[in-house]
Every structure is written in C-alpha cells, then in structure tokens.
C-alpha cells in the first residue's frame, strides 16, 4: 500500500471510530444488558452494536479479512494479506462501571504487522492515529514516548507482579494505577504520560494491534520479554507477557529482565 493510500485510509478510519464512539456513548452509564463469555470476560449490548457498525464501515472502505473480539473467528482471515483487527470496546469492565478509561480500537494489519491504526477514547475525546512510517498523533498533535533509559523516578503502570519484580531491582520506580483498557494504557506510553508498562500473558491481537503501531510510531517499542516484535493474524491470536516503553528505556528493561526472565514471565 502506497504512503498516500495509507494516509487516506487513516483519515477514513478516524471518521469511522468517531462514529463508533458516538454510538457507544449513547448507552454509556445507562441501562445495558451484559453477560460473561468464557471464564470471566464481560460483554454487553454496546460491544455487539459497535462491532456491527465497525464491520460494516471498515469492510466498505477496505476489503480485508476480519478479526474482532466480538465476532466469531473465521479462519478465512489467515488467507488474506490484509486484515482488520478490531476491539469494539477495549475496557468493557470500565465501560460497564461508568469509568471513562475505555477506547474503540482498530488497525489494518498487512503481512502480520499493523500499517494504519486508530484508538478513540470517546469520553475524553482523544483520537490517536498512526500510520507506518508516518508518525503518531493525538487530536492532530504529534506525540512521542518518553526518552532516556533511567528507571529511578520513571512511572510504570500494569501487571502488579511484574511491577513488584521491577521494584525489587530498582526501588526508585514510581507506579501509577493500572489503566483498565490495555490499548489506552499503551497509548499513555506513546504520549509519554507513562514511561513504561508490563502486560500479563493472554492479551489478544485486538487488544494490541492498534496500540502497537501507535507506540512504535511514537518512538517506543512493545515486545515480548525476550525482545521479539509481535506478529498479528496468526491462527491463535494470543500473546505472552509483554513490555512497552520508549526505545532507550525499553532496551534497558530487556537487559534487566534477561537474567530474571522467570520473575517477569
């Protein structure tokens, strides 16, 4: 896909996620039917409605495979070079609890990596956009992950056990409450509001793809604990524990983790 085509697609994607956010806001803090799928994952009428809107709009602007948290998986996606990876409401628990910390997340993945992505936080009206090779913005303003590799005084949010392991190595780190939406937490890393985060195992493609591109284009990295970049649209879209931070700090963290992998995995 040419660079100009990516920019055009980004702008059309921005319009779609704003529309999806407006739909989600109609029932936010209202009476909703919700239920639990799997072991403990909540889902609501709003998730399903937003998923349907995104599917219709996104497949209309770009014919591609489809992978969404709220759509039954179709293995046909594995035969497509391009796939839409979507989380209609990332942070459903927060949404149902009336907390503002949830987002609409969508990315177009090409050959296993996101090339165009959007995250939209409707309550705070924050629209995060990124294009591979084209940087990352929030509401039109360029963003950048925090620089430097120092850990003392750096702020971290995320999986408690892993933060405890890091604090045992560097007691000077600062921790802030975990943002319930993983995609939004990674967006905070991309803006430098949080210096780094660890994620627990079992996040899915739809939690990560859009935020991955955002972090990358903001000058950060999100990888496995051994430094591997994430590959999307595999048969099993599940990932292990991850670490995200600005590039220099990320490299420092990988160095610390290397000899203590069992404590962080």
* pLDDT for res 32: 84
- Residues lower than pLDDT 70 in the chain: 39
* pLDDT for res 264: 87
d(CA 27, CA 51): 14
Q: Please report the domains of the chain, with CATH numbers, ordered by start residue.
A: 3-142 (3.30.540.10), 155-264 (3.40.190.80)
* pLDDT for res 210: 98
* pLDDT for res 237: 97
* pLDDT for res 25: 97
Using the structure block, give the residue that is written with the tokens 């048969």. Answer: 235
Here the tokens at position 226 are: 């051994």
* pLDDT for res 234: 97
* pLDDT for res 138: 98
Is the sign of the CA dihedral 205, 25, 57, 144 positive or negative?
Answer: negative
pLDDT per position as a tens digit, 162-214: 999 999 999 999 999 989 999 999 999 999 999 999 999 999 999 999 999 99
pLDDT per position as a tens digit, 48-73: 999 999 999 999 999 999 999 999 99
Q: What are phi and psi of 41, to 5 degrees?
A: -90, 120
* pLDDT for res 30: 86
Here the tokens at position 174 are: 């600062």
């Amino acid at each position: 896909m040419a660079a100009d085509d990516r920019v055009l697609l980004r702008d059309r994607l921005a319009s779609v996620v704003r529309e999806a956010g407006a739909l989600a806001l109609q029932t936010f803090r209202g009476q909703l039917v919700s239920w639990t799928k799997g072991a403990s994952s909540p889902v609501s009428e709003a998730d399903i409605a937003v998923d349907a809107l995104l599917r219709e709009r996104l497949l209309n602007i770009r014919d591609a495979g489809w992978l969404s948290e709220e759509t039954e998986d179709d293995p046909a996606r594995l035969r497509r070079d391009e796939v839409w990876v979507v989380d209609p409401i990332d942070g459903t628990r927060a949404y149902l609890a009336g907390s503002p910390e949830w987002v609409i997340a969508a990315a177009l993945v090409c050959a296993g990596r996101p090339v165009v992505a959007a995250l939209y936080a409707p309550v705070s009206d924050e629209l995060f956009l990124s294009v591979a090779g084209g940087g990352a913005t929030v509401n039109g303003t360029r963003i950048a992950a925090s620089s430097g590799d120092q850990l003392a005084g750096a702020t971290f949010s995320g999986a408690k056990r892993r933060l405890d392991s890091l604090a045992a190595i560097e007691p000077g780190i600062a921790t802030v409450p975990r943002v319930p939406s993983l995609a939004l937490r990674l967006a905070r890393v991309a803006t430098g509001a949080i210096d780094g985060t660890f994620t627990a195992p079992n996040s899915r493609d739809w939690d990560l793809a859009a935020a991955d591109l955002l972090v990358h284009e903001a000058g950060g990295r999100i990888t496995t604990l051994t430094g591997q970049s994430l590959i999307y649209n595999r048969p099993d879209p599940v990932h292990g524990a991850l670490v995200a931070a600005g590039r220099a700090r990320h490299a420092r963290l990988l160095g610390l983790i290397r000899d203590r992998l069992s404590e962080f995995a």
